[in-house]
Amino acid sequence: MGVVDGFNHHLFLYRAARSATAGVPGRFQAAVEMLVDWVEDQAKSIVNNAESRRFVAPLALTVFLWIILMNVLDLLPVDFLGWVFIQTGLGAEHGDPLYYHRILPTADLNVPMGMSLGVLLLTLYYGIKIKKPGGFVKELFTAPFSFGGIAGILLSPFNFLLNIIEYGAKTVSLGMRLFGNMFAGELVFMLIALLGGAWTGFNGASIGLGIGHVLAGSVWAIFHILIVLLQAFIFMMLTLVYVGQAHESH
């Protein structure tokens, strides 16, 4: 699903680029231009290197749209894709519709942690590129506690350990934040779906659970739209912040 979402996101931007005109833009072109300008402004306010922004700003836009497209899969009915796969025979190798109920890529720890590891590699790359290998290694041992003489030598192992912990904590928290929120949201959708699955006929309990299923599902879906956008925004902004920090010296 993540690969499909990535293709759709690139198709979305490709379509906007192909249909762009020099005159008065249409609504689609205007919306895309506003989104691109907004991400560019965010990058300018955080990453102070213009050359780096030529890569980082489009990357931030890609991350933002990709996460949104992956997250909105959570708004599909819980058993819809399972039903489609079983009906078309595509799910015959598993034979269990429940296998397809958890389709959200960002609720699979491999996806958000893989993306956060990519951000870690990017921060290391820019840290070495901007500060040079010698300066980057020196900063690992001399920051955040910088002293001269014997005190600096004694503190260098602690500085190195703190910096390694900082890199690890940033990476884990970045991926786990996205995973935790989307996993919980998907779980709530599945629990709400159980209300509809309790239908046993036209009786008071079943009708009450059915109405509760529709109301709870609708309210949670509307609220979940905010979560979808917010998690994409947070991941994008933290990506920019971490890359921006890689350009700065302690």
Q: Which helix (H) or strand (E) holds 187?
A: helix 149-197
- Of 105, 149, 85, 94, the residue nearest 9 (C-alpha): 105
How far is residue 170 from each of residues 5, 230, 235, measured CA to CA in Å?
26, 18, 11
Catalytic hit among 8, 110, 173, 203: 173
Q: How many CA atoms lie within 13 A of 166 on its CB side?
A: 14
Residue 173 annotated among the catalytic residues of the structure: yes
| pLDDT for residue 248 | 86
Is residue 53 a contact partner of residue 47, using CB atoms and an 8 Å limit?
yes
pLDDT tens, position by position, 21-30: 666 667 777 7
Q: Which residues have C-beta within 8 Å of that of residue 54, sequence separation ≥ 6? A: none
Catalytic hit among 181, 206, 218, 249: 181
pLDDT tens, position by position, 39-56: 999 999 999 999 999 999
CA distance 175 to 187: 18
How far is residue 46 from each of residues 66, 232, 242, measured CA to CA in Å?
21, 17, 9
Residue 54 annotated among the catalytic residues of the structure: no
Mean pLDDT by runs of 10 across the 250 residues of the chain is: 51 63 69 89 94 94 93 85 70 58 88 96 95 93 80 86 95 96 91 76 77 87 93 96 88
User: Mean of the per-residue pLDDT values for the chain?
Assistant: 84
| pLDDT for residue 2 | 47
| pLDDT for residue 237 | 97
CA angle 191/192/196 to nearest 5° reads 115
| pLDDT for residue 145 | 82
Concatenated DSSP letters of 9-53: HHHHHHHHHHT--SSS--HHHHHHHHHHHHHHHHHHHH---HHHH
Is residue 29 a contact partner of residue 16, using CB atoms and an 8 Å limit?
yes
Q: Where are the domains of the chain?
A: 2-246
| pLDDT for residue 29 | 75
Catalytic hit among 102, 156, 177, 206: 177
Residue 102 annotated among the catalytic residues of the structure: no
